[in-house]
Amino acid sequence: MKVIWSDTAKLHWSKTLDFIAKNFGVSAVETFIKKTMEATKQISAMPDSDPVEPLLSDFDADYRSIVFAKHSKLVYTIYDNCIFINDYWDTRQETTLLKNRL
C-alpha cells in the first residue's frame, strides 16, 4: 500500500531529527531514520496489524499506531488503498497535544 505523510507528521518528525542530531550525533539520526523506514515498510505491508491508538479511541476514524523507537509512534489511518500517516508522536508529551493536532 502507498504511504503518505501529512505535513504535521513531517514537521514533528523533522524537529525530532534536529533534536537527535544536536544532542546525540549523526549516527543516532541514521539509526532513527532506519527505524522509521522499517516501521513505514511494516505499516505498508500489514496496515491492520497495529492496534487502534488508545488515546484516540473516541475519534470517529480508526487511528492506529506503531511504536518504532523507545518513545516514538507513527499514528496513521487507512483509506482505501492508501495509508495516511497523520502524525509522528513522542510518547513523553502531554496526551492532549496529540488529540489537538488531529
Does 7 score more than 90 pLDDT? yes
Does 15 score more than 90 pLDDT? yes
- The H-or-E segment that residue 21 falls in is helix 7-24
Does 59 score more than 80 pLDDT? yes
Phi, psi of 58, rounded to the nearest 5 degrees? -85, 0
The 3-state DSSP class for residue 62 equals coil
Mean pLDDT for the chain?
Answer: 91
Which pLDDT score, from 0 to 100, does residue 36 have? 96
Does 56 score more than 90 pLDDT? no
